[in-house]
Amino acid sequence: MAKTYDYLFKLLLIGDSGVGKTCVLFRFSEDAFNSTFISTIGIDFKIRTIDMDGKKIKLQIWDTAGQERFRTITTAYYRGAMGIMLVYDITNEKSFDNIKNWIRNIEENASADVEKMLLGNKCELEDRRAVSKERGEQLAIEYGIKFMEISAKNSINVEEAFFTLARDIRTKTEKKLEASNPSKGNHQLKATEPSKKQPNWLQRCSLI
């Protein structure tokens, strides 16, 4: 079967239960919102292939259960991730405070050079806002990562967020490839390349 993409990136959505991770993913993969969504048990993932400057990038996005209790299960998925979306709910202070715990979790379980991004979801609920945009920005600066406020419900910035993360991963990947393989130049890039260090399920995955 011919390969239908140039890159495969594995992304992960994490954050407290109820911040809207599943809805964000559903918005990005199906462009829809369903307020009667069932809570996530265990893990699932969705695929969407995007076009970026003439390259096809297949995004495999993993959605996890948020409750602390399941952390030992969900962290099993951290290590293969190339990008992680940290999601909080702008109407829920606690979910924002917990971002630092999620960051620590990433540091302990994900690979050191994983691209991260901070997302404040439900931004259309201005009247119920509990976390100002400035605090979100400030926290992102602290961790040296990008930040956006989004709304899965009103489809605000969801596309932009995933494209931004995918672009950053791509840039990083291509830099690494050039450094390790300068003679071959840009045209020899392989989608499987970034998975060299990844567990073999990801490797196999990129050969579908």
Partner 1 sequence: MNSPERETMQVPGQPSVGVELFSQNGVVMRNQASRSNEDVCPGTLRIVQYSSGKCFEWHPAVSVSSEEGDWAVVSKNDSNSDDTISFDVTRIKEYRVHPKNKRKIVFTLRDPREIYGAVFQTDSVDSLVAYIRQFYRTRRSTRDHHTYKIIEERTERTIQKSFCDLEFDFTRGKSSNPADSVRRLIRDFRQKPIQTALESAAKIADLYRYENGALSSETPEILSHSEESVSIADEYQIVSPTIKLPPREILSRGNPLSYEQWLQFHDAQGRITNSELVKKIIYQGGISSKLRADVWKYLLGYLPWEATTAEQIEIRNSKEKEYNRMKLQWQMVTPAQEARFSDFRDRKSLIEKDVNRCDRSLDFYAGENNSNLKSLHNILMTYIMYNFDLGYVQGMSDLLAPILFIMNNEVDAFWCFSAFMDKVASNFDVDQAGSKRQLLHLHELLSVMDPKFAEYLKNLEPGYLFCFRWLLVIFKREFSYDDTMTIWEAFWTGIPGPNFHLFVGLAILDTEKSAIMDSHSNFAETLKHINELAMKIDVNSTLSKADAIYRQLLAAEVSLPDPIRTILGLEPLQKEPNPLSDSESDAEDAPNSSPGHCNNGLSQSFNDDQFDIDTAIMLNYM
Ligand X SMILES: Nc1nc2c(ncn2[C@@H]2O[C@H](COP(=O)(O)OP(=O)(O)O)[C@@H](O)[C@H]2O)c(=O)[nH]1
Residues that bind partner 1 (CB under 8 A): 17-18, 36-39, 41-45, 60, 65, 67, 69-70, 72-73, 75-79, 94, 109, 199-202, 204-205, 208
Helix residue ranges, H only, 18-157: 21-30, 71-74, 93-97, 99-109, 133-143
CB of 142 to Mg ion, least distance (A): 26
- What is the x/- site pattern for ligand X, positions 147-186, by CB under 6 A? ----xxx---------------------------------
Residue with tokens 């901070």: 118
Euclidean distance between CA atoms 90 and 116, whole angstroms:
18
115 forms beta bridges with: 83
C-beta closer to partner 1: residue 46 or 146: 46
22 binds Mg ion (CB under 5 A): yes
Euclidean distance between CA atoms 100 and 124, whole angstroms:
24
Question: What residue 163 binds from ligand X, Mg ion, partner 1, none (CB within 5 to 8 A, per partner kind)?
Answer: none
The identity of residue 174, as a single letter, is: E
Q: Which of residues 34-63 bind Mg ion (CB under 5 A)?
A: 40
Q: Which of residues 9-68 bind ligand X (CB under 6 A)?
A: 17-23, 35, 37, 39-40, 66
Residue nearest to ligand X (CB): 20
Is 38 exposed, middle or buried (CB count within 10 Å of its CB: 0-12, 13-18, 19+)?
exposed
C-beta separation of 5 from 58 below 8 A = yes
Euclidean distance between CA atoms 202 and 196, whole angstroms:
9
Token pair, residue 22, equals: 């599943």
C-beta closer to partner 1: residue 9 or 147: 9
Question: What residue 77 binds from ligand X, Mg ion, partner 1, none (CB within 5 to 8 A, per partner kind)?
Answer: partner 1
C-beta closer to partner 1: residue 19 or 140: 19
Spell out where 35-186 has E strands. 43-52, 55-64, 83-89, 115-121, 146-149
125 binds ligand X (CB under 6 A): yes
Interface contacts to ligand X, rule CB under 6 A: 17-23, 35, 37, 39-40, 66, 121-122, 124-125, 151-153
Positions in the binding site for Mg ion (CB under 5 A) = 21-22, 40
